[in-house]
Chain A
């Protein structure tokens, strides 16, 4: 029933519907034909349904071990656990493109559903742009990356999946990350639609912001999950490597964060309009280019592209079409957008502009660093590397003024502000940050971590201060009054404060991790090692069997002052079918630090020690490590909280009647 052929057919049908979703509503909006425009939501729902069916067909083939499907044969195996048979669908190039298309269709469906109150021409244009983008990816999927291709004769068993990928954290990482990447397609479509209409106003800002915030939340979670995965799977205690693949996700996050902030200025003050439109286009462009250029072989590993040159050319053509036409429209239309409201440099708007400048400057540096090696090779024929030491030295310091400013920004009034009264409200936050910072300075080494730690505390304290200010809490105010005011406060205010505090938590974690310590030791069973005030004792080594691997498990007792803290079981897994070994890290966390152990090779101890092996252990003490990801989670929760704000739930505001529009088309 759910055959691969049905899946392929559904995919082709979805592609046709996407083309219709591109052509009909845009023509309708252009010719002011309400019947054509009204087709947009139906086509979006139809496309979503077809893609969902197509995806279910692929899932059925994966779960049913249908190795006559080339994609399943190459990436799955009978012995693979069910969970990874399902998540393995998107664990390879073809399947991930299908997931990408499905999420894009979901975005279209969401705009069709939640955007019912949008002006019909705007909704038709947004859905039209989304349809055109989706059609491109579905064509790419159909012609160069079809997951439904069959092989004959069908193998008895599949090749299996890279064991490193058989991990629950990883399994759910791509959908979340893609939801972030693809989610920015909606602000992109809104920006292009606004350029077509020749009009950007406060209402546009208010419509586009929730979509940007939603995508931002997913992207934040996706990046954090990826970082966490590399921390506990790759097993050398690192969490961020400034690898091109990581940078590809960081770039749209940076501009997306800028977009979430600049859209506020559009909504409240009708300023920064051209800039916000550009950010919306740029963010999705970076999402697209990042993920796809990584697959082309230019930035990264040698292979997937070399195998199939048409794939890289198709990707580049698609990027040129989507990004190029949006930027061309921007170049033609943006100068005609009306100018925005005025404000003084020192004001809420000014602070948000500063935020945008710093975020985009960091983005520019990361982008330059990531793209520099291939371009240096192309233009000058010189092979250079740009790695962690470069980014640590350039991009990281630029985040510090951002942190300093993000504490003050939310407390400034719009249009024109005085610094003194704001600082007067923040004196206790500054004092707290200073005291904590001095305490931290005794534990941390290096200027950058100490400054970052102080600023992290400062941001958290200032977020609390901004909330207290909003609920009017000061000495003498009745607690009940404050509580009442807090209840009346829009959730977006809490969301913003929470998101800022989350950023502070992440920064504190990052700063503290600079003080992480580790030891690499060769020990016999019964031996103890001292690290970071803990006594780590190897008490046993044993063999164990898993579903598709054999494991060697060490038992390590960790004591502090003779009190047993935890027992860690790091292990090594041998996957015979892939001839690969993975190492399973054991982590114990108490919220303030991670105790982290990795089991390395074993050696014979040599003569005199019968049947005794020396095991090599890598032990880490990572202070405040969980805070890095906890902060990201708090940021995302803050974003979600502001999405639940009444103003967003109630629906779209009416467009101001008196706004002067430049005639479209």
Chain B
């Protein structure tokens, strides 16, 4: 009871289809796992479209021990700078702090304390050695939303003139700083 030849081949195609589909999905998963291992694929990355936009308008008050700043200050900057959202209650921020300090003299870092009590934030900054050239407080957390911040820490590299050149959600690492932040900052300075 063999079906005619043409049908047989169609049947063959239909029975191979599940294997082919599963294999394609499996290769996809493998690529994802490999990407996650390398850090090139993050299924939880929000891809907030921050790049190449003018920073949103804001004016934030002082956060001791620094001075607050506004979008106008960023727009008036003549050299690239890094804006870093942080909080004293955020553990990755503690880990990130020494890296920010190591940037001193190479790239100015302006900090925004996100939803933090002023005393806590001041204590945190002083303890870690004050990496911030300017320091503002965003207690309601609404400026952060305007920037598309989904958590702390998040860092933005700002061009002279106040547009966002680069952005990362999550803690900076030595590798990110050496491979991405500093070369880009050098390019922007030229």
Contacts and interface: CB of A to CB of B under 8 A. Distances in A.
Direct contact of A and B (CB under 8 A): yes
Q: How large is the interface on A (under 10, 10 to 19, 20 to 34, 35 or more residues)?
A: 35 or more
Interface stretch (A325-333, A531-539, A570-578): A325-333
A320 interface: yes
B36 to A, nearest CB: 7
Interface in B17-60: 18-19, 22-23, 25-26, 28-33, 35-37, 41, 43-47
Given A302-B44, A324-B22, A334 B30 contact: no
Nearest to B48: A383
A530 B41 CA distance: 51
A274 B15 CA distance: 9
A299 interface: yes
B33 A313 contact: yes
A323 B22 contact: yes
Contacts of B29: 293, 296, 298, 316
B26 to A, nearest CB: 5
A278 B18 contact: yes
B26 A320 contact: yes
B41 A378 contact: yes
B26 A298 contact: no
Given A331-B15, A331-B19, A316 B33 contact: yes
Given A297-B36, A324-B22, A382 B47 contact: yes
Given A327-B18, A383-B45, A306 B36 contact: yes
B47 A373 contact: no
B11 interface: yes
Interface string A294-309: 0011110010011001
Contacts of A374: 28, 32, 43
B12 interface: yes
User: SS class of chain A's interface: helix, strand, loop or mixed?
Assistant: helix
A377 B43 contact: yes
B105 interface: no
A328 B18 CA distance: 9
A323 B1 CA distance: 29
A319 B47 contact: no
A335 B12 contact: yes
Contacts of A293: 29
A481 B104 CA distance: 95
A367 to B, nearest CB: 9
Given A327-B22, A383-B45, A338 B1 contact: yes
A374 B30 CA distance: 12
A339 B25 CA distance: 30
Given A309-B33, A330-B18, A378-B28, A299 B43 contact: yes
A331 B32 contact: no
B140 interface: no
A150 to B, nearest CB: 28
A79 interface: no
A282 interface: yes
Nearest to B23: A324
B43 A298 contact: yes
Which of A313, A331, A382 lies at the interface centre, i.e. has the most chain B CB atoms within 10 A of its CB? Answer: A331
B8 interface: yes
A172 B45 CA distance: 35
B47 A383 contact: yes
B15 A335 contact: yes
B76 interface: no
B19 A305 contact: no
A9 interface: no
Nearest to B32: A298
A139 to B, nearest CB: 19
A364 to B, nearest CB: 11
Nearest to A306: B36
Contacts of B22: 285, 323-324, 327
Given A297-B43, A324-B23, A383-B45, A330 B33 contact: no
B32 A309 contact: no
Which of B19, B45, B47 lies at the interface centre, i.e. has the most chain A CB atoms within 10 A of its CB? Answer: B19
Contacts of B26: 316, 319-320, 323-324
Nearest to B11: A335
A331 B35 CA distance: 31
Interface in A600-620: none
A306 B33 CA distance: 9
Nearest to B3: A339
Contacts of B11: 334-335
Contacts of B8: 335
A25 B45 CA distance: 48
B33 A373 contact: no
Contacts of B36: 297-298, 305-306, 309, 312
Contact of A298 (B15, B16, B18, B33): B33
Interface in A332-385: 334-335, 338-339, 371, 373-375, 377-378, 381-383
Contacts of B3: 339
7 closest A-B pairs by beta carbon, nearest first, are: A383-B47, A327-B19, A334-B15, A331-B16, A374-B43, A335-B11, A331-B19
Given A312-B33, A316-B26, 8 more contacts: A274-B15, A320-B26, A324-B26, A330-B19, A331-B16, A378-B28, A381-B47, A382-B47
9 contacts: A298-B36, A316-B29, A320-B26, A331-B18, A331-B19, A334-B15, A335-B12, A374-B28, A378-B28
Interface of B: 1, 3, 8, 11-12, 15-16, 18-19, 22-23, 25-26, 28-33, 35-37, 41, 43-47
